[in-house]
Amino acid sequence: MALLAGCALGVDGGVLQHPPLSPRGASLTAHLGLGGGGMSTSRYLLAFDLDTRIDIADDASRWAAGTSALGGIKLPGCFLDARVGIWRAIVSGGAEASVVPSFELGAYVPLRERFDPARPQHGANSDGLVLGIREDLDEERYFTVFVGYALFLLPGY
């Protein structure tokens, strides 16, 4: 279960669209949880996160919190990934469902990696670029195109 032995952190910013290709605002999201992978020695990445998000939209803004699961598989130069989660608005300027399912498709592109096979006790990490699309199944459905940063950290022992 080495994929869950570390920490996963991600932040992204995006453009809210309703309908698609019709910008309505901006979104800032943060993910923090248990996870791992994302390195040249990994075939997969996996994370279980607690999430928070602020959406600033022309018709209603909100601050939401939730939880999600991220999974990915290695392709040449990147990891193709998907995230499924649920959100609940903490504060909102509009009508909200009590629980909002959210789905993402995207990619994680590792930019830097630190791992010394001769000294695995020193841990490892991988950080890079995330990009993708997200759909929230709320009363007002928003489609989001986002870009951000992710870090997978396996502590040393």
Q: Is the pLDDT of residue 3 over 70?
A: no
Q: What is the mean pLDDT of the chain?
A: 91
Contact predicate 112/127, CB 8 Å: yes
Q: Is the pLDDT of residue 81 over 90?
A: yes
Q: Is the pLDDT of residue 1 over 50?
A: no
Q: What percent of the chain has pLDDT over 90?
A: 69
Residue 15, Cβ neighbours under 10 Å: how many?
15
| CA 92-81-24 angle, 5° bins | 30
Give the CATH architecture of domain 2-154: Beta Barrel (2.40)
Q: Is the pLDDT of residue 8 over 70?
A: yes
Contact predicate 29/11, CB 8 Å: yes
Tell me if residue 124 falls in helix, strand or coil: strand
Compute the radius of gyration of the chain from its Cα atoms: 16
Q: What percent of the chain has pLDDT over 70?
A: 97
